[in-house]
């Protein structure tokens, strides 16, 4: 038996059981262990990063194997972490800045590997940085009044977009987002049929308490599998009966769509 091979296996087992914090400490301990962890233990790893570990990750960002470690970071209501450290986290793929008033465009524009970004109720981040994040596929702009069409029309890779309670984004940008498959327009009165009818790849649409979108556009969305019409009095049966791929339909407090009207949608699970 090869002793070196056995020791290698033992080391792999030990390292695989370490916490994120301890694993980062091992990588920092020596060039050998950093190389080992990156080349043999992990081919690619996404880590939910905690604030206490940010400084350690920053130290490793210019070292071996940075392309094998990706990070998710939640800075919701966080007042301690600043741009100084976040701008070093070039391998961040997911960032939550809900109600965060510390992080600015200075660091966000450096995070070009981001695929998921939450800017709900965030009044600091602007178009200056968001327009640089062309790899973002999921974006939450619920109750956000800073981001405008200027940046959104650049994010053509978006597949999921939340515009709940959003008063800034208009048809001008949304009609360009033809890759979007999930769209939340709950309590949104800015987006109209003009853009929605262009989003034929939509599979999930939330029109809860939305009285702007009409049958004219929704009847074109034949790929829809999930539709929320809670508190919606605009969409009618004439539209819904065309959506034969629906598997989920929310009709809570909806007086327009009746049981009689959905009986032809054999795959639908109706929520009332």
pLDDT tens digits along 111-164: 999 999 999 999 999 999 999 999 999 999 999 999 999 999 999 999 999 999
CB count in 10 Å sphere of residue 151:
21
Average pLDDT of 64-76? Answer: 72
Beta strands in the chain (DSSP E): 45-49, 69-74, 92-96, 116-118, 138-140, 160-162, 182-184, 204-206, 226-228, 248-250, 269-271
Residue 153's alpha-carbon distances to 26, 127, 171, 266, in angstroms, are 43, 11, 10, 37
* Predicted pLDDT of residue 44: 56
Q: What percent of the chain is predicted at pLDDT more than 70?
A: 85
For the chain, give every domain's residue range.
1-43, 44-158
* Predicted pLDDT of residue 255: 85
* Predicted pLDDT of residue 61: 59
* Dist CA 42 CA 90 (whole Å): 19
* Dist CA 15 CA 202 (whole Å): 43
- Average pLDDT value over all residues in the chain: 87
- Would you identify the CATH topology of the domain 44-158? 3.80.10
* Predicted pLDDT of residue 166: 97
* Dist CA 70 CA 174 (whole Å): 29
Q: What is the pTM of this model?
A: 0.84
Average pLDDT of 71-84? Answer: 90
* Predicted pLDDT of residue 260: 73
* Predicted pLDDT of residue 85: 86
Where do the H-state alpha helices sit in the chain?
Answer: 3-16, 20-29, 31-36, 54-60, 83-86, 105-108, 127-130, 149-152, 171-174, 193-196, 215-218, 237-240, 259-262
Task: Give 216's pLDDT tier (boundaries 50, 70, 90).
Answer: very high
Q: Check whether 1 has a pLDDT greater than 60.
A: no
Task: Give 68's pLDDT tier (boundaries 50, 70, 90).
Answer: low
Q: Check whether 237 has a pLDDT greater than 70.
A: yes
Average pLDDT of 247-271? Answer: 84
**CB-based contact 166:141 (threshold 8 Å):** yes
Task: Give 62's pLDDT tier (boundaries 50, 70, 90).
Answer: low
């Amino acid at each position: 038996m090869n002793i070196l091979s056995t020791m290698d296996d033992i080391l792999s087992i030990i390292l695989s059981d370490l916490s994120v914090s301890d694993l980062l400490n091992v990588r920092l301990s020596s060039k050998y262990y950093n190389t080992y962890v990156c080349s043999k233990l992990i081919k690619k790893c996404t880590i939910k990063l905690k604030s206490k570990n940010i400084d350690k990750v920053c130290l490793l960002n210019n070292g071996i194997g940075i392309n094998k470690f990706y990070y998710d970071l939640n800075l919701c209501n966080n007042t301690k972490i600043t741009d100084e450290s976040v701008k070093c986290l070039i391998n961040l793929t997911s960032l939550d800045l809900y109600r965060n008033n510390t992080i600015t465009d200075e660091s966000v524009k450096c995070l070009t590997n981001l695929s998921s970004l939450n800017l709900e109720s965030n009044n600091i981040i602007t178009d200056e940085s968001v327009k640089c994040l062309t790899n973002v596929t999921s974006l939450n702009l619920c109750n956000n009044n800073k981001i405008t069409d200027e940046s959104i029309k650049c994010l053509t890779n978006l597949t999921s977009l939340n515009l709940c309670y959003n008063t800034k984004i208009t048809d001008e940008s949304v009609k360009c987002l033809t890759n979007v498959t999930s769209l939340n327009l709950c309590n949104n009165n800015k987006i109209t049929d003009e853009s929605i009818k262009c989003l034929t790849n939509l599979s999930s649409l939330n029109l809860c308490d939305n009285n702007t979108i009409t049958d004219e556009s929704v009847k074109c969305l034949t790929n829809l599998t999930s539709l929320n019409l809670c508190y919606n009095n605009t969409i009618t049966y004439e539209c819904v009966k065309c959506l034969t791929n629906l598997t989920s339909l929310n009709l809570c407090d909806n007086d327009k769509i009746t049981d009689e009207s959905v009986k032809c949608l054999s795959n639908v699970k109706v929520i009332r």
